[in-house]
Amino acid sequence: MAAGEGNGVVPVEMEGANSNNNNNISSVISGWFSEISPMWPGEAHSLKVEEILFQGKSEYQNVMVFQSATYGKVLVLDGVIQLTERDECAYQEMITHLPLCSISNPKKVLVIGGGDGGVLREVSRHSTVEQIDICEIDKMVVDVSKQFFPEVAIGYEDPRVKLHIGDGVAFLKAVPEGTYDAVIVDSSDPIGPAQELFEKPFFKSVSKALRPGGVVCTQAESIWLHMHIIEDIVANCRQIFKGSVNYAWTTVPTYPSGVIGFMLCSTDGAPVDFKHPVSQIDESARPLKFYNPEIHTAAFCLPTFAKKVIEAKSV
């Protein structure tokens, strides 16, 4: 279905696939996609739609791909933008390299979520890594990403990658203690199928799955919209992870407020200084677009209002 300029396209609503999901009412109207959600009340970000390339409904969520006028192809799950071709690098590179460049010689890495394959693509840059497991609950996200976002889903082509389709919470519970050097949780917002990935029992499972001095990096919402959620995440992580606990952030123009954060924690063991990378990335095959050592360190510099809240939870 084409969405031409000002042609009054039939509305395409992107509500939650299940009654227990969010109440997003994002839609495509008159050639524009508007991202409307109770997660960011009173505001909406819109992108001009050139063409809707895919619409489907999986067991878990609505899936849509459209060609935008300014950000390339866009992947939308339950009415919420997950990535665009133009700015996905700012998220994928940071959520991966902030943790992996903070430890020496990571060998075993687990990705929870991240079905588009972008985190896999970035993990594969690290030559010391021998095993990359990914647990994604929705096979449709994997298939759609391979079809429409090959430059992102290229991560699946790495022979070190093993894909597990299923519930990340259940997968982690079954992982032997101390298996991984790093766990990266590339989740959507804490509503619907991703809600459990923000709760204390999940963080306990992550801690158990990590070796001493192992690290986790999880998507941790926006300082402009979700400080109440961030407070809870910080408080939970302070109780569970006995190493270092830090909050970092990056800019992603097509995410609500243009900002997204990461919670970075380490287990008790060899100390981890997340703010100063200890390893570099080989860019000979594929140059980085966003991440560099300077922006790594800068990501942990917080504005005063966020710093006060997060440091208060650190006591």
Known catalytic residue at 186: yes
User: For the purposes of burial, counting CB atoms within 10 Å of the CB of 10, is it exposed (0-12), middle (13-18) or buried (19 or more)?
Assistant: exposed
> Residue 229: helix, strand or coil by DSSP?
helix
Q: Cβ(145)–Cβ(63) under 8 Å?
A: no
Which of 186, 189, 268, 273 does the annotation list as catalytic? 186
Name the CA dihedral angle for 92, 233, 45, 117, rounded to a multiple of 10 degrees: 20
Q: What is the DSSP letter of 272?
A: -
**CA–CA dist 106, 181 (Å, integer):** 6
**CA–CA dist 198, 114 (Å, integer):** 15
Q: Cβ(266)–Cβ(276) under 8 Å?
A: no
**CA–CA dist 293, 243 (Å, integer):** 22
Q: Which amino acid is at 106?
A: P
Which amino acids are annotated catalytic? Answer: 186
